[in-house]
Amino acid sequence: MSQRPAMAAVALLLLCSAAAERASLELRHGDGQHSASLELDADPCPADPKAVRALQALGLRGSGSVCQWKGVNCRDCQVLGVKISSPKLKGSIEELKYFSGLKVLNLKGQVNGDVGALQNLTELTELSLEGSQVYGDVAHLRSLRQLRYVKLTDSRVYGNLQVFQGMEGLRELLLGLTRVRGHLQALAGCRNMTLLVLRRLQGVTGTMKSCENMTQLKILFLSGTQVEGELQAVGELRRLFLSETKVHGNLSALRATRGFSALETLDLAGTGVFGDLVALKNHFNLVRAYLSDTLVSGDFAVLHKGKQKNVCRLQELTLKGTNVFGDLKDLPGYAQLVRLDLQGTSVTGRLSSALKGCCQKLGQLVLSDSRVTLLPTPEELAVLRQASNLELFSRRAAAGCRAGYRLPEGYSTDRSATLLPALVTLEVSRSPLLGPVEHLLLPLAGSPNVARLVASGCGLFGTLPNLQALDSVTVDDRMYARWVSFISKSLQLLDLSENQITRVEGVPAHTLVSLASNGALSIHPGLLAKALEERVEVKLQGTALLNQSEVLQMVGRGELNMTEDFRMTDINRGFTCHGLDSVLLQVSPELFLPQALCGCSPGWYGSGKDCRRCPAGTYNKHFNRSFCKPCPGEQKSPVGAASVRMCLCSIGEIYDQNAWNGTNTSKRDYACGCPDAQALHAGACVGCPELHLDCIGFGGLAVNAPATAGWARLAAGVQTFRCLAPEERCVPENDGCAAGYGGPLCVTCADGYRSTQRGLCKPCADFGRWTAPSATSASVVVGILAAAAVASFVVWRRRRATLDGSAASSAEAAPSARDAALALLVVEGPLLLQLCQLWVVVAALAGSRHLQETKEEEAADRSFAAAFPEQPYMKWLQLSAIGLQDALSLECTYGASARSAAAVAAPLIPLALLALCGAVELFARSSGISLALKALTLFFIGGASGCARLLSCQDTDGGGEPLGGHAFRTAFPHLKCSDPSWVDGLGWLCAIAYGGLIPICLLALMMKQHVALQSSRKVTAFVSEYDDKLLVRVHEFRAAVGTEKEPSRVEENLLAAAIAHATVLLRGKVRMQPEDGGMSLELLGVSKGEVLSASSQLKDMLEIKTSADAQRCSAITRMLMERSLLDGARESDRMLAGARNLLSKYVWCQDVWVEIVLRLAAVALVSVVSREDGLAFSVGICVGVGAMVGALQPYVQRQVNDLQCCCFLCLGVASLGFGFELIWLARAALLLPFLLLCSQIWHPDCPEEVALRLFKALQPKLPLQGQALEVAVEPLTL
């Protein structure tokens, strides 16, 4: 028997050892509470570096395995729970993704990180990160389907409630003070929900009906959301918070559900709920009811009536702003009440003995804006002043008092015999108390806890008693001479403002007492000094002090000091007051102590606040002066003048001459004159800034004042005009122009200076100086270069004639691709030169959008102009005398005469060259006309620009204002536009030449070719297809009978038509054979299959592309016939012979009208760029010409058409770039045509050029007489 207990003991030890070797984690969930317990293995888990790093990221520290760290729960060495609450907890949760088996995460501290890091913790059941800095979209929690408890209150998460839809196991969801949104219906499926907190989520909507399936719900907190709809019962709620929502309905909805008998807290403040309080009568467990600012009505006592004593458990009841009524005598029924708010209700009642000993816990009673009269009746007051309220001592304590012993500090009476013994705050502001103030205070004198008593605007009057020394107080039928009340020791705030209290006998120590706006008040002698000594804060704003002598003595002793600055000013009564430099005593100085704190303002006289205005003719500039001084001399002043400067002068105002003259004397010498920044003009003072005059000091004359910087006069007087940019050319000193500038508005450069393209005048030393010999040498060099150019041209002409002859004699001599590229460059070079010349013209649009510029805009314009250093050199490409004068800096050698000569020579030199070409024509037939047309290409734009400059007038100033009769000529600034001059005659002659004679000559050329080449327009070509060949026929319309018949050119016309169709429709080696009254075209060097394919292609082209290709074939046919006619007319018509190169540029010679349009467009551009609306016109002209060329395609070579169209469109874009000051756009527009030319060089040939070469080679072989010809139809490429 003795061995059995020993064996049992051994077995028990073995079982305990086995249990100790196993670790288990138990997670127990109760109703809203969770706990985690952990039993560790006997053998410690190995240290996992990743787990350590994950927890160290949260700021945790430990040694060994993390399973041994505080707050970490494990099972089988796997972390299942982390539950830590510490203010030192800081770090990121993002490393916790390592713990894939984590079930519980409860962190309280300053942790952060993206909640998305937890999306793979699919085993998580509890997530609590309240008050953290965690952020991210709650949508990441969608995968955590095991969640039961989610607490993210006061974090930075956001997202939609839709994430939690379908989580039927979810029991607690706390998302208050986050940025989550959504509809409550998303949570309708969470049937096991017991706690739902969505406080202050403005994005949450829905109705309470969405929660009706949550039968286990205990706490619902939706305050501050957008929830709406009818009030209804939900589950077995204990706490319901719906304040500041859109919920409405009747309180009876709560009574209808039996489950609401457990309701403890009800918050419906600020909702649309209505109904009678009787609906809450049977809620016996109700502890807190917040119904402020609702439509609830009824007797506030109904919640305790009919219940047994102490059954009513209400502790807080707020009915502010409702329609509740009742009487204070019903207060005893609320034995547990701590706070009662009846502000703005219809509750009535008075303090009475019935309230003695009741409401032992009532600490806050708010009766403001109600109907309570509160003050007891005389009968009740007598009872309250006896044992009922002032039953302060037991009989034994009273006997000790009679024996001369003092009661110990802090002695309290029996709470059952004290009026509202727990009362801390009483607010009755704006309620109709209408009685002596002592009737309010004396009944409460025995209440030991009253700290705040607010009775503002209640109609109280009389004397404020000294609560620290009540006289003749009866206690237990015994009289005491003086007694210190309990309320005087507990009171911290006593607000009696806006009443009619007339006297103050005492104030409790260490209290804030407000007696503001109480009319005239008398203070007991010595009380104010004692109150300040006891640190009592007294507010007397709006209250007058009757007995001021004591306060004056305090000011004299330095106990009260005035502020250095003024604290109030009454402009209507003319006085200003200092304040009191005291944080404890706040007063209205004009009422409290006016004689000491206040004085008359400048312009008034008197003392204190008894002030009168200074009469007319006098002034007072001092504070608190009892008299006013008369104005000096005969000057007058208005009533209430506050300074001698208000003494009026007939002109200007008074000023001290000695002060402005710098005289060192204390004597003042006042005189009348225009003030600073004004000057005398036409018998009145005018503002100098408005006239742009620089007036300094008093008494100045406008005609003598210099113009301000950037402005200048054009004649004697006061009128000024804004200078042209840059404005630094005009300065107030010297003659109004800065160094190096001169002329009207300082537009010209003085001797020794030269102008730049940016409108500046720079010293010639900065550029180098051209002497007369050097200028002569340069002229000689230019002449030699010109002679060399002419000689080169003659040689080129003769060489070309030789080549033409050799080409005619040998059809085998075919040009190379390089020759075609060079020929293309020769044709397109003048187009690019024209682009550069017109680009300089439209550059004048820079800054044209700003007519009235600010200084910042002018600076921007100058910066924009400075960003184009290439513009001066581009201007040289206009090949005008002005560009030559600028390039050689002749202005530095010959001064203004160089500018004048260049202005005159600019339009005349091109005309002189044309006249010289006319002389050449007399000796070299057709050569003069050819040279004249080439000269127009080079010099027309420069000459037209010079002509426009010769005629232009500067009729507005730099701000766009008209100059009127002061307008001057741009090229000759010393000449006014209104004065007749030889410049007008010369300019108009040039304008007639450029705008009339030259276009008329071109028009005559157009008419000449129209007559000479009309036979080419009488031939029509037809094409048909047979036997894999094209058969081309022509039909010539003969002249009518009786007219002179032109010689037939059928064979040439047929050859031209055949070549035209071959170059457009065929590629490769082609046989041309006269056949059946026409000419057949056959493609050689292809197999039968290829022939069928080619035939099919020909048929497709003839059927589908008939319109486009037929027009092109017809155009080439006519072009070849016109070239043949031009060659035939070379000997008979000198005009056509001289213009052959010009006419040959165009597909049809009649398109030479395009040349006229281009000349007129150049003249128009030159004319409009200086106009106010020049930008719009310039863009319109450029885009119009470019669109015309692009649509008509008048030139022989398609590359030339494309380049000419591109040039004018880019000029339009450049105009926008200059007008809107976009540097990159203007430069890109100039560069783009050059890039286009570079791309065209690789393909310099086109069908028209191929046709011209073939026609030139085959024409000498006519007539063919049935002979077949084989030609290669292939464009040349590099």
Closest residue by Cα to residue 1250 from 1277, 1232, 1224: 1277
Q: Which residue has the tokens 């028997």?
A: 1
Q: Taking 70 as the threshold, does the pLDDT of residue 365 lie above it?
A: yes
The alpha carbon torsion through 882, 885, 890, 892 (nearest 10 deg) reads 60
Cα 541 from Cα 568, distance rounded (Å): 12
Asked if the bond preceding 726 is cis, omega within 30° of 0, the reply is yes
Cα 89 from Cα 278, distance rounded (Å): 50
Closest residue by Cα to residue 517 from 533, 492, 500: 500
Model confidence band, residue 101 (pLDDT cutoffs 50, 70, 90)? confident
Model confidence band, residue 659 (pLDDT cutoffs 50, 70, 90)? low
Average pLDDT (734-753) is 81
Cα 565 from Cα 568, distance rounded (Å): 9
Give the pLDDT of residue 1045. Answer: 45
613-642 pLDDT per residue, tens: 999 989 998 998 989 988 876 678 889 998
Cα-based distances in Å from 216 to 31, 54, 169, 172, 222 = 10, 38, 12, 11, 17
1136-1168 pLDDT per residue, tens: 766 777 777 777 777 778 877 887 787 788 778
Give 636's DSSP letter: B
Q: Taking 50 as the threshold, does the pLDDT of residue 12 lie above it?
A: no
Cα 1021 from Cα 1113, distance rounded (Å): 9
The H or E element that residue 1218 is part of is helix 1198-1219
Cβ(1207)–Cβ(1186) below 8 Å: yes
Among the ranges given (294-308, 755-769, 818-832, 1053-1067), the one the predictor scored with the smallest mean pLDDT: 755-769
First and final C-alpha spacing in the chain: 124
Cα-based distances in Å from 926 to 823, 1128, 1241 = 22, 14, 31
- The CA R_g of the chain, rounded to the nearest whole Å, is 55
The H or E element that residue 523 is part of is strand 519-523
Residue 524 pairs in a beta bridge with none
Among the ranges given (150-159, 479-488, 584-593, 789-798), the one the predictor scored with the smallest mean pLDDT: 789-798
Closest residue by Cα to residue 1182 from 1165, 1198, 1170: 1165
Cα 1031 from Cα 1171, distance rounded (Å): 60
Instruction: Give the dihedral sign, CA 73/77/79/82.
Output: positive
Q: What is the bridge-based pairing of β-strands 204-207 and 226-230?
A: parallel
Cβ(81)–Cβ(103) below 8 Å: yes
Coil, helix or strand at residue 110: strand
The residues near 291 (Cβ < 8 Å, ≥ 6 apart) are 266, 268, 269, 273, 317, 318, 319, 322
| Secondary structure string (H, E, C) spanning 994-1037 | HHHHHHHHHHHHHHHHHHHCHHHHHEEEEEEEECCEEEEEEEEC
Closest residue by Cα to residue 723 from 686, 695, 753, 748: 748
Among the ranges given (785-794, 839-848, 1109-1118), the one the predictor scored with the smallest mean pLDDT: 785-794
Give 68's DSSP letter: G
Please report the domains of the chain, with CATH numbers, ordered by start residue. Answer: 21-152 (3.80.10.10), 649-705 (no CATH), 708-746 (no CATH), 753-830+866-1003 (no CATH), 1013-1038+1047-1128+1249-1278 (no CATH)
Q: Which residue has the tokens 């995968």?
A: 143
Average pLDDT (1019-1026) is 76
pTM for this model (two decimals): 0.52
Cα 1062 from Cα 443, distance rounded (Å): 127
1211-1249 pLDDT per residue, tens: 899 888 888 878 888 888 888 998 988 888 888 888 888
Cα 834 from Cα 1186, distance rounded (Å): 14
The H or E element that residue 957 is part of is none
Average pLDDT (1057-1080) is 82
Residue 596 pairs in a beta bridge with none
